[in-house]
Amino acid sequence: EPLLERFYHMLGRYGVGLQTISPGKRWSERDTVLITYADMVQGEEGTPLAAFRKLCAERLKGAISTIHLLPFFPWSSDDGFSVIDFREVEQSYGNWEDIRALGSEFTLMFDLVLNHCSVQSSWFKDYVSGVEPAANYFVEAEPELDLSAVVRPRSSPLLAPIETRSGERHLWTTFSDDQVDLNWRCPDLLFEFLDIIMLYLSMGCRILRLDAVAFLWKEVGTDCLHRPQTHEVIKLLRDFLDVVAPETVLLTETNVPHEENVSYFGKGDEAHLVYQFSLPPLLLHGLLEGSSRHLTEWASQLAPPPKGCSYLNFTASHDGIGVRPLEGILSPDEVRQLATKVEGRGGHVSMRSGTEGEDVPYELNVTYFDALAEPGDDALTEARFRCSQAVALAMQGIPAVYFHSLTGTRNDHEGVKDTGRARSINRRKWQDSELRSLLDDAESLPARVFEWYSRALRHRSACCAFHPDAPQAIHDFGPELFVLERTALDDSQTILCLFNFTSGIIPVADQGHLAELFPDGCTRDLLGGSELDLPADGLELRPYQALWLVAR
């Protein structure tokens, strides 16, 4: 009861919760998320956020609806995910006014980094000094405890010794000794984060991404992953948002095998959105192998999400390409072979310890463009990359596009050398003048990819069959092709999407299905924007060609 009373007194903070907006339709075919760092584009004058807003407003209106700003708060490590102050904007990026200005042009997604914070935060300093309430904000553990069952994505020590006013304590550090885990058993911490959420909502946040949420609840003797209490915290946050801002969408970030990942839908009462984590590595494997077999099998078995929920489909993000989501889909040998191919294309492979203590691939660090490179054949590389992106845009759900996919960015080896971190290979920052110069040069790779991508996104946004809730059917036309069909919720439009996964010319095996969908043979390719009359002797696809066919 005291907690409910405390919640009641929060209503109206930052002007949030006084007038709630009915969620109505949460999403449509017009929704596409752009994933970016706040300082992805840096101008000679003004703030990076202002330069980025100007570029997006000029070149991406109608193609992108939502911008996911990766953590833009003061930070000490992990490129923003070791947060020093959750309520401030990192000065070198800009300020809250810049965020609001961006929010006037696009819908915004913010990260809620709720598993840990920086050792440089005021919370941690208060903990060390024994100051309430932060004295209870962190997870202590005795080093003698058996914590061998704990699952982690890092090889650094799980516990870090800290000198406090009360003597030495050992604190839980899942990700690094600069990122100290937070104690979600503490009611004061919960209300701290509820207040932070309300601040974010007041600044234009409409999608809230729960970073690394699978690790949230610590319980000695367990793997500390996906604990029931973690799911209860997510339900609580969902209930909270339903009261103060029901139009807000909750997204969980859990880079784990598919069945574990989709558990965060709950019964439709937890996350509205989960990432489709198996898609990026599965798509990469299929295109490099020249076979859609595994992708077709996996996609045909995908259960539709619960009512009111959807998938976020992506190929690349600020992180590497996680391969744990391939467990149960590809064999360990196939995963190792994929890792070897990525290394051969200039990428890096991050390892973790397997059940027997052996090193197994955990994450592929490479730009998605270079991951698909065909050495010595730039045209084939570009066609293969476009095919990969066209698949992700066609799948049921909401597309999420990393900024470097829009520009066909190559591996940033200098960045890796400068930071010593493999993930820097896909985190290049653009100078505004250089990027604009490249985008204005029609012959440059960034311009070609950007023009194709933005056009594909605009065409997609005009098709009701690409509504996130519109069903999809997967067809098996043989291992060379990946084929899916999307049908509008009101049956007013059907789109047949065909993708050649090989470097050869491939005939479409099931001409009967084409004749059934397009009896007069008159179609339009939505990707190319051109009319296409189906040949009497059968349709063939060029190497890595992607078609989105609709009757005209």
| Contact call for residues 318 and 268 (beta carbons, < 8 A) | no
- Under the phi-then-psi rule, with left for phi > 0, alpha for psi from -120 to 50, and beta for the rest, what region is 224? left
**pLDDT score of 19:** 76
Residue type, 347: G
- Under the phi-then-psi rule, with left for phi > 0, alpha for psi from -120 to 50, and beta for the rest, what region is 455? alpha
User: CA-to-CA distance for 260 and 197, rounded, in angstroms?
Assistant: 26
User: CA-to-CA distance for 347 and 342, rounded, in angstroms?
Assistant: 5
Low-confidence ranges of the chain (pLDDT < 70): none
Type and span of the H or E element at 359? strand 359-365
| E strand segments, 96-193 | 107-112, 116-118, 159-164, 167-172, 179-181
User: CA-to-CA distance for 541 and 539, rounded, in angstroms?
Assistant: 7
User: Helix 48-59 crosses helix 432-440 at what angle (to 10 degrees)?
Assistant: 20
**pLDDT score of 155:** 79
Q: DSSP H helical segments within 428-510, as ranges?
A: 432-440, 445-461
> Which residues have a Cβ under 8 Å from the Cβ of 309 and sit 6 or more positions away?
265, 268, 271, 272, 273, 274
Residue type, 74: P
* Burial class for 510, CB neighbours closer than 10 Å (0-12, 13-18, 19+): middle
**pLDDT score of 97:** 98
User: CA-to-CA distance for 170 and 144, rounded, in angstroms?
Assistant: 10
**pLDDT score of 394:** 98
CA angle 547, 35, 550 (to 5 degrees): 20
**pLDDT score of 520:** 93
Active site residues: 211
Predicted TM-score (pTM) of this structure: 0.97
**DSSP-assigned states of every residue in 212-258:** TGGG----TTS--SS-HHHHHHHHHHHHHHHHH-TT-EEEE---S-H
Residue type, 107: T
